[in-house]
Structures are given as C-alpha cells and as structure tokens.
Amino acid sequence: MKNLILVLFLLTHSIIFSQVVTVNVSEIGIFSDIGNKNYRIVLSNPKFKDTELVTSTYILDFNELTVTFFTNGNKSIKGIDNLTKISPSEYLIKLNDNADDGSGRTVPVTIILNTTSKNNNLIVTWYNVDGDYTVVQTSLNSHLFIVK
C-alpha cells in the first residue's frame, strides 16, 4: 500500500510540473527598497521605482528544472533549486543567479509565475547583501505561452 501511495504521489507530482512556460517580456517595472524585504512590501511602498522597455524571454522548463533567460542577444541557463506550486495557476521558483552589481557572485533569486494573469504574470526578486537592498521586477507588458 505504501508503494502504491508513493507511485501515485510521484505520478501526480510529475504531471503537475510537466510543462514548459515561455514568457516574452517587453516592459518591466523595477522596484527596490533598503534591507531584505518581502516582495509584496517592496511593491506596496518602494523607495525607488521605474519602468524599462526590454526584449526578454524567460523559458521555465518544469521537466528539466531549468530557467533559460534571453535578453539583448545574451542567453543564460540556470537550474531551478526549488519549485513549489502555490495554487493551480501560481508557481514559486527559487534559483541562484549572478548578482546585479558586476561582482560575479551569485545571489538567491525568487520567481513568482502566474499562468492565468494577462500582465504582471512574472515577478522576479532578489536581495543584494553588499548593497543591502531588495529588488523586485514585474512584467508590465508580456505574453505567456504554455506547452504541456
């Protein structure tokens, strides 16, 4: 019986995450605040905010547990360290990426993906230890495609 439950759990877990999601982003909102803060706090009361036109693509592969990021002709592939399904349409993705200060260090990055939202379907957030600030980027203008 225990083996059957384990097999059913593994099958349903792989079905839930067996998809590839592509998000093409043409405009982002950039929000930041001093200290290590939750992204919702930063979005509600940022010390700095701006918008930026970008040409970026995120490919989130839940089969291979990777995130491929293209921007301005540059490609970066990162492994997903943790993938959590928050709701039927919302995922929390944790990975390590290069710091935004040119130091070459890696920092923990959290991606929140909403597969039913028309815009703001991708939130990327990280904390810079050296500068003591949290950055949150939201997709203001984006298109999402799901391949199951």
- Whether the per-residue pLDDT at 2 is higher than 50: the answer is no
Summarize pLDDT for 68-108 with one digit per residue, the tens: 999 878 899 999 999 999 998 899 999 998 766 667 788 89
Mean pLDDT, the chain, integer: 84
The whole-model pTM stands at 0.82
The reported pLDDT for the residue numbered 17 is 53
Contact (CB, 8 A) for 110 and 94: yes
